[in-house]
Homo-oligomer: A and B are copies of this chain.
């Protein structure tokens, strides 16, 4: 059965927070976890509509926030004023490099970065919640950048 573990996690979270367990919320959860790569709330809504799933835009938006709260997905921002999400399920913490020419997003993991967010939060007297590290750059290799000039 698909996303069995995620369903459990989400169910527990909903119960603890006195949120109701509804079929719509699980439809959104499944579609979000199935989505390859980064997606906007509306992208997901379109995909679900195409699959003839019955959800409203409002429910998609609201449920995605719940999924972020229970850490099944992450919220991202790549500098274009668009909220993007990605599944956390079975994935390592990583950061992003965005090509300023073509918008391509490359994920990377750098060990030198891993302890810094917690360390800096501590130094400043804060409790770390999350971090976002984005590098904006240009492809050196023209062939890899579809919109390279």
Which of B99, B123, B126, B140 makes the CB contact (< 8 A) with A139? Answer: B126
Most interface-central of A100, A133, A140 (chain B CB within 10 A): A133
- Range class of the A interface residue count: 35 or more
A116 to B126, Cβ gap below 8 A? Answer: no
Interfacial residues of chain A within 95-120, with CB under 8 A of chain B in the complex: 97, 99-100, 106, 108, 110, 112-113, 116-117, 120
B113 to A116, Cβ gap below 8 A? Answer: yes
* A128 cross-chain contacts in B, Cβ below 8 A: 135-137
Residue-wise, chain A 72-94 has the 8 Å CB interface mask toward B (1 for contact) of: 00010101011100000000000
Partner-B contacts on A (CB < 8 A):
75, 77, 79, 81-83, 97, 99-100, 106, 108, 110, 112-113, 116-117, 120-121, 123-141, 144
